[in-house]
Amino acid sequence: MSFIRQTAPVLPTPAAGTFRQVVESFVLLAVAVLLFRGFAAEGFMISTGSMAPTLLGYHRRVVCPDCGFEFARGASEEASDTEAIARDKYDIGFEEPSDIRCPNCSLTAIPFSTLPRTEGDQLLVHKHAYEFRDPRRWEVIVFRNPAEPREAYVKRVAGLPGEQIEIRGGEVFANGVLCRKPLDVQRAIKVPFARFVNRTSGADTDVQSGWQTAESRSRWSISGKNPAFDGLAGPTQIETEWLTYRHWIRAGGRHSSSVPLARWPVKLSFPEGEYSSIQFAEGRLACVGVLSDLERRTWLARCDDPEFQLAINQLFEQSHLAPLVDESGYNSVDEIGEHTVDEFFTSFTLHQVSGQGRIEIRLRDSTNMFAAVLDFGSRECRLLRNDDPIPVRQCTWKPDLPTDQIQVDFSLFDNQATLAINGAPALEPFPYEAEGEPLPVRMPLQLGAANLSFQVTNLTLARDVYYVSKAEKDAPPVQLGPDEFFVLGDNSPVSVDSRVWAEPAVPRRALIGKPLVVHLPSNSRRLQWNGQNHDVRVPDFSRARVVR
């Protein structure tokens, strides 16, 4: 009789087991992704810039060599192939015309074509999102072009079934009512144009900081990387001290500026012709665009009349303060509209707040000024309109704000004042109507403080999308059927959408689904190998995000 002894099983070595587990995990993950994509989701890649900056098509990442502001600039897929061949074969770079302008400091002639090209955002789209409900207003959707079903588009829903949609003054109206964006959509759709940067004018007086303090001995410190305020040192502070953003551009512009001048100097030749930088008529000295420092010094050298010299210096200053327009770093200068904008969004983070004073954030549109006051003495938050001391909104902080770090978002989008603290609404949004004659906005933001000490980081300004009607005048209203949607691209100047299609409505049957996330993000990096330049894709998980 033979006996068989049961022995302990032979276990694989730890290294072999770990390797096998990793391989099996990847295989199972791949199978799960394939099943998920086959039945519940589908991947799409953005190729155009019609939804920028929310979703990016082929683009290049630009870092301004002067102020360090980083922004995406649209790039064509076709041109990049030619550029790559030329770089690799002939070791040269294409220098495009200087149509790249930094939104933050207005520097032009930024090298562009030599930067690596990055592919567009890749979307994971939930294909069954709209089987049991319709898309909501301001949701991003993917749908098939009704005229060419093989083409898939991604746009934002602006009009719902049965509504009459009209674009007027850059806004969307449904059945005559202004459509206002919720805070999460505002954050996704805003177009940044300014960030606090410490800079000095130097020898070139055309280049000046947009951030200024009014007082010569201000308690604001703006000489470092980030602004700081110390209202606790020295005597008790009574008046609020302000840090102001003024939209200073160094050159160009299409705006008009004028200053008073009683008479033209007798001994000075009168400016004539279209090539003259200034014009004089009816007691006003005027120019279009920026009056450069070179032109200013030229006119000052030609005439020593005190009144004329004062007017020239005033015109120099005023012409550099340009109205805000629907400009985007993603588009070329030729694609910049001439529409003035007045709906702004500011965000920043407060650090190490101490004291019992207050912080006041003032935002202006073309007819109103709103102030959000954070009072650390009374632990109150107040929203004031214009010069009225009675708040239109008010609340007590519950729970008390942590003073080590406070994130603040304040906006005036769609004629509505919205304030958020640490990501959550602090007050009920306040809708309002425009009052008085609209004026171009050149100084949209002031940040004031009294009897506090704190630091500020990530101080930025952005604007709302200005929806261009794509017609010489505001386009007539569009009546939607019971199964139709009106869609718009976030990059309004260049987007092809319901504003221009012969059949503007998107039928419900054309819907593909709802984009969930930007996944598998990557950026291009340039490497040299065997004497040649090669653009390679490397993961960039900072671009992975939920689509809002």
pLDDT of residue 490: 95
**In the predicted model, what is the mean pLDDT of residues 362-378?**
95
Tens-digit pLDDT profile for residues 212-235 = 997 667 899 988 789 999 988 777
Query: What's the chain's average pLDDT?
Result: 83
Residues 173 and 237 in one domain: no
Last residue of a domain, one of 320, 352, 373: 320
Q: Are residues 348 and 222 in the same domain?
A: yes
Which one is predicted more confidently, 461 or 23?
461
Please tell me the predicted confidence (pLDDT) of residue 204.
Answer: 78
- pLDDT over 90 (residue 60): no
Q: Please identify which of the residues 50, 113, 319, 524 carries the catalytic annotation.
A: 50
Pair (299, 380) in one structural domain: no
Interval 344-360 mean pLDDT: 95
Using DSSP, state whether 375 is helix, strand or coil. strand
Residue 488 has pLDDT above 80, yes or no: yes
408 and 361 in a single domain? The answer is yes
Q: Is the residue at 34 inside a domain? A: no
Using the predicted structure, report yes or no on whether residue 158 has a pLDDT greater than 70: yes
| Strand bridging mode 484-488 / 506-507 | antiparallel
For the cut 90, the answer to whether the pLDDT of residue 364 exceeds it is: yes
**Can you give the CATH number for the domain in which 488 is found?**
2.10.109.10
Residue 89, pLDDT above cutoff 70: no
Give the CATH number of the domain where residue 199 resides: 2.60.120.560
Q: Which residues of 62-76 are buried (b: 16+ CB within 10 A; e: fewer)?
A: bebeebebebbbbbe
Portion of the chain with pLDDT greater than 90, in percent:
49
464 or 531, higher pLDDT: 464
Residue 20: inside a domain = no
Whether residue 186 is found in the same domain as residue 197: no
pLDDT of 26: 53
In this prediction, residue 87 carries a pLDDT of 34
Residue 161 lies in a domain: yes
Q: Is residue 517 scored above 60 in pLDDT?
A: yes
Does any domain span residue 30?
no
* Average pLDDT over every residue of 119-146: 90
User: Which pTM was predicted?
Assistant: 0.85
The pLDDT of residue 81 is: 36
Q: Name the 3-class secondary structure at 32.
A: helix
Q: Are residues 167 and 65 in the same domain?
A: no
127 counts as catalytic: no
> Among 463, 484, 503, which residue terminates a domain?
463
Given a contact cutoff of 8 angstroms between Cβ atoms, the answer to whether 355 and 451 are in contact is yes
Predicted pLDDT of residue 335: 53
Q: Kindly tell me if the per-residue pLDDT of 82 is higher than 70.
A: no
- The verdict on residue 453 lying in a domain is yes
Residues 353 and 312 in one domain: no
Percent of the chain with pLDDT over 70: 80
Lowest average pLDDT, out of 235-244, 453-462, 524-533, goes to: 524-533
Residue 25 pLDDT exceeds 70: no
Range of the domain at 505: 122-190+467-518
Is 546 or 18 the better-scoring residue by pLDDT?
Answer: 546
**DSSP string covering 293-326:** HHHHHHHHHH---HHHHHHHHHHHHHHHBPPPBS
Cβ count near 539 (within 10 Å)? 11
Say whether both 425 and 366 belong to one domain: yes
Sorting pLDDT into bands at 50, 70 and 90, what band is 77? low
Given 80, 113, 155, 524, which residue is catalytic?
155
pLDDT at 45 over 90: no
Domain shared by 473 and 444, yes or no: no
391-445: pLDDT as tens digits? 999 999 876 777 889 999 999 999 999 999 999 999 999 999 887 778 889 999 9
Q: How confident is the model at residue 19 (pLDDT cuts 50, 70, 90)?
A: low
Same domain as 442, residue 357: yes
Considering the domain boundaries, does residue 71 fall inside one?
A: yes
Task: Tell me: pLDDT of 473 over 90.
Answer: no
Residue 291 confidence (pLDDT) above 70? yes
- Which of the two residues, 110 and 386, has the higher pLDDT score? 386
List 243's β-bridge partners, or say none: 213, 447
Query: 50 an active-site residue?
Result: yes
Beta-sheet pairing, 228-230 with 220-221: antiparallel
**Residue 349 in domain:** yes
Average pLDDT over residues 366-381: 94
Q: Do 269 and 173 sit in the same domain of this protein?
A: no
> What per-residue confidence (pLDDT) applies to 48?
86
**Quick check: is 9 in a domain?**
no
- Count of domains observed in the chain: 4
The answer to whether residues 203 and 296 belong to one domain is no
Query: What is residue 272's DSSP assignment?
Result: -
**Strand-pair partners of 287:** 257
The confidence band for 85, taking pLDDT boundaries of 50, 70 and 90, is very low
